[in-house]
Amino acid sequence: MKPTIAILGATGAVGQEFLAILEQRNTPMASLRLLASPRSAGKTVKFRGEHLPIEAVGPKSFDGVNIALFSAGASVSKEWAPIAVKSGAVVIDNSSAFRMDPAIPLVIPEINSEAIGNARIIANPNCSTIIMNMVVWPLHKARRAKRIVVSTYQAASGAGWQAMQELENQAREMLAGKPATMQVFPHPIAFNLFSHNTTIGADGYNVEETKMVLETRKIFNEPNLAITATCVRVPVLRAHSESVNITFEQPITEREAREILAKAPGVKVVDDRAANYFPMPKDASGQDDCLVGRIRQDISQPDNRGLDLFVCGDQLRKGAALNAVQIAEVLHFCYLQ
């Protein structure tokens, strides 16, 4: 049976990426329903050679829908996910609304697809969490990580199309000697970087950093795994980068790490020391794989128990829409047939 799929938030950056990925992967479906806020209703979007209308989401929007891909904010997800489930749909939610609910699986298909089970709501992890763990997980399986230290360099794409446009506009303004116009970010993003623009908690960690810690523990089923994160916005249009330091319970050499990562699904090793060529956002943009390089022993740790590496991944693809579509494909082939 081919599923009927709905996209809530079809006009946003992730919603548009949903459409591109569904078309590129030729994901099986009986039909596609595009949903958004009333202000977007009546517009059309081209998909597989047809112009599909965008409908204002309402109480009957999910009737007959098998899989609903949500790419709106947490408050929208909390409002409409129960309605979609009551209508018979399985919801795959890209917001933070359900990620830390112990009753709802938080899934990266390459890591824990078995967690899906009979769940009616499935949470998509935070983009930075996904990109990091695409490379940490295969190493963790081989030698078991004791501690992870990560610093992120997060592109404007993480805040949507308007943020990407703000970066472009500010670059033009500042190169022309004009002050930067700020509407999305609290500080200029062009020719600048700053701590991730989420609320700082009492412990000094911002929301993005806390997400990386808590979500990784849940996905790995390792509630006591030691993790610390520093998340930063950088003047890059698309694709996040992360510097990751891992301490392992057992020794692991950089050669072993390269061999493990070369075989890991969804990962591409880019590690050319002679040419000084390693993962870059420009190469990761538009790609499904997460790029990993700068693989080296952490010389501060004894007995080959530490590794440093650098990873880049497209926040809109594997960090968001692609991961959700992969979950939908697992649902279709394993649970909804």
- Nearest residue to 121 (alpha-carbon basis) of 147, 152, 155, 87: 87
- Contact between residue 95 and residue 320 where contact means Cβ atoms under 8 Å apart: no
Distance of CA 31 to the CA centre of its chain: 25
Write down the catalytic residue from 240, 290, 312, 332: 240
Bridge partner list, 68: 6, 91
| Residue 51 a catalytic site member | no
Structural tokens at position 76: 């929208």
| Residue 187 a catalytic site member | no
* Alpha-carbon span 54 to 262, nearest angstrom: 41
Write down the catalytic residue from 127, 231, 290, 312: 127
Residues contacting 149, CB < 8 A, separation 6+: 227, 228, 229, 244, 245, 246
- Contact between residue 183 and residue 264 where contact means Cβ atoms under 8 Å apart: no
Beta pairing class for 4-8 and 67-70:
parallel
By annotation, the residues acting in catalysis are 127, 240
